[in-house]
Every structure is written in structure tokens, then in C-alpha cells.
Homo-oligomer: A and B are copies of this chain.
Amino acid sequence: MPITANYPDRKTWIETFPNTDFPIQNIPFGVFLTRDDIITIGTRIGDTAIDLGALHQLGYFDGIPLTDDIFLQDSLNDFISDGKKTWRLVRNRIAEIFDAKNNSLKNNEKHRQEVLFSLDEIEMQLPVRIGDYTDFYSSIEHATNVGKMFRDPENALLPNWLHMPVGYHGRSSSIIPSGIPIHRPQGQKLTNGAKEPIFGPSRLVDFELEMAFITTDANQLGEPIPIEEAEDYIFGMVLFNDWSARDIQKWEYVPLGPFLGKNFASSISPWIVTLDALEPYRTDGPKPLKEQLPYLQYKGKKSFDINLEVAIQPEKAVETVVSKSNFKHMYWTMAQQLTHHTVNGCPVNSGDLMGSGTLSGPTPDSYGSMLELSWRGEKPLQLNEGGSRKFIDDNDTVIMRGYCEKDGVRIGFGEVSTKLLPVFKK
């Protein structure tokens, strides 16, 4: 079935600004509270939010096999379970409804009032009920930088790294949508030269520039997913800030991996951009430096050209862009990650989220964390407002943005923006 929603020439009757992240070719999915405090599933064109629950009740999805309440839910999980064919039918239909040549909704004021919202009338929620969250470690630049700093500069990459997309399980309960502030975490840390740990606020709170993909029901317990099928189970992608407390992490992580240094918060952009919408931006991933085992070998372009940036905005001050990177630098593709994850029979369900790992590029201005950008704090970053940063200060807001662009069409992710408040006080 062709992805007619992607036609680059299509115009919409919804007013949009040039260079919006959300032209009619995007059609992402999210969950929001309406002005009447009703929760619904929606999409967005330009700065207009569209209530898909209302649209469905009014009959605009007739002919597509959908249950009556599929969009009247507080998460996308059930819709995602409907599978790729249904996602595509719905996205294609939405493109038709809002096509500049289609007058049916455009000329029906009553329907428009039920369906359309301006962004300041709605409140974005977490788009999925995340069952399990896995974080990979798939940028060779990031793994190399961290290995140089914390282990052996001569053997920065560990022996398994070039053979598999190394990953670990994270905490779903602390994943929040853009806009929710977090608190500086407290915990155990070992100060330089000390033998015994102390307890207190983390002094090294950091972001990690990542993207994450969201899956549909993929397999039964015991059943691996072959690599040629893996992308069929990926619904879409979001920007992902994997907040990290480097001092807590460093003391706790041996031998079982990161725990409290990570699980105080991770934030995501609220609109899931579908893999279908990203189709025009496919590109080759980095060339493998070692032959990969057959179950991880794939054909075709399975990486995506997505420009990324991170900005720090101190309270009541202008922001400073501190990093510009690209998703295409990721060494292991999403298809490889999902295939590896299930090769032992681990079940993957609708709403599971898988992070890319920090997306550092090859140059120092493309590194994806303060740890790397300031090189452990040795090179503080100058901010436009006059100050400098080694890590993130109280009341700083960290903003990540991402977009693809080709043939005059820009498909963006909006942003994930999260403010770091001081330590929690009851």
C-alpha cells in the first residue's frame, strides 16, 4: 500500500507557518487533554491539534477497520497493536481530510469546532503506556569517548561492542513527557580520593541526547524476530533525553550497570513521528568495522538522516545550542537493535520504548552529553548569556530538537524540554 500521506506536493487547508516541524506530510500521533479536560488521541498539523477521537465519531474514518473507542483512550497502545497496515490507512486518510482540495471538514464549521484545537488549549500527555524500556549504547563515538575517560584510552571500546548492539534495561516509571520539571537527584557518591561514599545531591547532572523508537506487539515468549521483519514492528520515533547523574552512576554501576544514576527521569517529545513519515529520509548507516554475525546482517538503507540539537536555557535567559548531531551516526540500526533484543526469545509488546543511546557525532561540537562536551568538566562550555557550564545547573532547562529535510519537505519532532529543579523538599 503506497504511503500517500507522504506526497511532497500536498498542501493543506490548515494554516501552517513555513518551516514548521508538522506539515501535512508529518501526521504524528500523540495523546492530549482537550479544553474540556477530555483525554484523546490526536495528531497535529502546523500549530493546530486535531482530535482523532472526535474525527472518528463523526465518521471520517469510515471504511477503515477501527473499534469505536480506538482514539478515545489515554494511550496509543491499542492503536499501535492494530499494526502497520492500519497505521498507514489512518495516516493516509488524515492527509486526505486535510488536503487543500478537500472541503468536507473544511466547510463544516460545527465539525471543525469539535475537532480542531489550538496548541494552548491542550495539554500533551505521555503518548504510550510504556511497558518495558530498553536503552542501547549504539553510538561508536559516545562509547569510545566514555571508554577513554573512564577505562583505557588505548582500548576504549570493549571487546563485545563491535559484535552486538549493547543495551540494558531502564525504568519505565520515570519516563515523562516534555514540559514536566524534574528534581536534582540525591544519592551515594565517592568523592575524589575518598574510600567511603557520602550521601548528598548529585553534582554532575547531565543530559544524554538520544532518540527512541516505540514498538508494536512483535513476538511470543521464545520467538526471535528476523532482521528483515524488524522494522514492521516499529511504530515511530521520539526525541529522548536520558537524564544522568554521573557521580551516582560512577559509584554504583559495577558490576550490574546504571541504576539510580539514570532512573530519576527520562523525558520524551510528546508526538510520535511514524516510521512511514520518515521513509523519505532513509540513509546508509556507518560501515561496519567488523563482520557482523548473520542474524544481524541486513540489506538496504536502515538508518535515517535526522538533524539533532541540544540547547541549555538558564532561568530567564537566552538559550545556547551546545550540540548539533545526527541520528545517522548511530552505528547499530534500530532493526539490528530489535532483532538482537529478541534473538533469545524476549517478548516485545505494544508501547515498549527503546532508546538509541547517546547520539554523539564525530566532532567535539556534536557530542551528545555534557560529560563529553565539557570532557568530564575539564572544558566548561560558554553560554550566550555570559555564564558557563560543566554540567546542568538548578533551574536550567534542557531542550532537544530534531528534524529531517529533503526536497522542500521538513519533518520534525518538535522538542523535548525539561527543567531541572533543585533537590525535592517535602
Instruction: Indicate with 1 or 0, residue by residue over A162-194, a CB within 8 angstroms of chain B CB atoms.
Output: 011011111111101000101101111010000
Chain B contacts of A202 at CB under 8 A? 344
Whether, in the assembled complex, A258 has its beta carbon less than 8 Å from a beta carbon of chain B, the answer is yes
Instruction: Indicate with 1 or 0, residue by residue over A242-263, a CB within 8 angstroms of chain B CB atoms.
Output: 0001001001111111111001
Instruction: Indicate with 1 or 0, residue by residue over A346-361, a CB within 8 angstroms of chain B CB atoms.
Output: 1111001000000000
Q: Which among A131, A167, A176, A344 has the highest number of chain B CB atoms within 10 Å?
A: A344
Chain B contacts of A164 at CB under 8 A? 188, 197, 252
Query: In the complex, what distance in Å separates the CA atom of A352 from the CA atom of B173?
Result: 9
Q: Nearest-CB distance from A249 to chain B (Å)?
A: 11
Whether, in the assembled complex, A284 has its beta carbon less than 8 Å from a beta carbon of chain B, the answer is no
Chain B contacts of A17 at CB under 8 A? none
Among B173, B190, B345, which residue has its beta carbon within 8 angstroms of that of A349? B173
| Contact residues of A between 24 and 48, Cβ < 8 Å to B | none
Band of interface residues on A? 35 or more
* CB within 8 Å for A132 and B172 given contacts A293-B188, A345-B185, A424-B345: yes
Instruction: Indicate with 1 or 0, residue by residue over A127-170, a CB within 8 angstroms of chain B CB atoms.
Output: 00001101001000000000000010000001110011011111
Chain B contacts of A263 at CB under 8 A? 169, 344, 346
Q: Nearest-CB distance from A228 to chain B (Å)?
A: 14
| Contact residues of A between 276 and 325, Cβ < 8 Å to B | 293-295
Among B180, B199, B345, B426, which residue has its beta carbon within 8 angstroms of that of A294? B199
Among B132, B166, B176, which residue has its beta carbon within 8 angstroms of that of A252? B166
Chain B contacts of A174 at CB under 8 A? 221, 345-347
Q: Which among A169, A341, A349 has the highest number of chain B CB atoms within 10 Å?
A: A169
Whether, in the assembled complex, A416 has its beta carbon less than 8 Å from a beta carbon of chain B, the answer is no
Whether, in the assembled complex, A84 has its beta carbon less than 8 Å from a beta carbon of chain B, the answer is no
Asked if residues B169 and A340 are in contact (CB atoms below 8 Å), the reply is: no
Nearest residue (CB) in B for A167 is: B259
Question: Chain A's interface: helix, strand, loop or mixed, by majority?
Answer: loop
Chain B contacts of A293 at CB under 8 A? 188, 197-199
Chain B contacts of A197 at CB under 8 A? 160, 163-164, 293
Whether, in the assembled complex, A414 has its beta carbon less than 8 Å from a beta carbon of chain B, the answer is no
Chain B contacts of A252 at CB under 8 A? 160, 164, 166
Query: In the complex, what distance in Å separates the CA atom of A297 from the CA atom of B422?
Result: 25
Whether, in the assembled complex, A223 has its beta carbon less than 8 Å from a beta carbon of chain B, the answer is yes
Asked if residues A256 and B166 are in contact (CB atoms below 8 Å), the reply is: yes
Whether, in the assembled complex, A265 has its beta carbon less than 8 Å from a beta carbon of chain B, the answer is yes
Asked if residues A171 and B346 are in contact (CB atoms below 8 Å), the reply is: yes
* CB within 8 Å for A221 and B182 given contacts A199-B295, A295-B199: yes
Among B224, B257, B258, B265, which residue has its beta carbon within 8 angstroms of that of A424? B224
Query: In the complex, what distance in Å separates the CA atom of A106 from the CA atom of B182?
Result: 55
Whether, in the assembled complex, A222 has its beta carbon less than 8 Å from a beta carbon of chain B, the answer is yes
Chain B contacts of A188 at CB under 8 A? 160, 163-164, 293
Among B198, B258, B343, which residue has its beta carbon within 8 angstroms of that of A260? B343
Among B198, B248, B348, which residue has its beta carbon within 8 angstroms of that of A344? B248
Q: Nearest-CB distance from A314 to chain B (Å)?
A: 21
Chain B contacts of A187 at CB under 8 A? 343-344
Nearest residue (CB) in B for A172 is: B132
Whether, in the assembled complex, A233 has its beta carbon less than 8 Å from a beta carbon of chain B, the answer is no
Chain B contacts of A171 at CB under 8 A? 132, 134, 169, 346
Q: Can you give 5 contacting A-B residue pairs, CB < 8 Å?
A: A132-B173, A223-B426, A224-B424, A245-B344, A257-B258
**Residues of A participating in the B interface, judged by any CB pair closer than 8 Å:** 131-132, 134, 137, 151, 158-160, 163-164, 166-174, 176, 180, 182-183, 185-188, 190, 196-199, 202, 221-224, 245, 248, 251-260, 263-265, 293-295, 340-341, 343-349, 352, 421, 424, 426
A187-B344, A253-B255 given; 6 more Cβ-contact pairs under 8 Å:
A151-B255, A168-B256, A171-B346, A173-B348, A174-B221, A182-B221
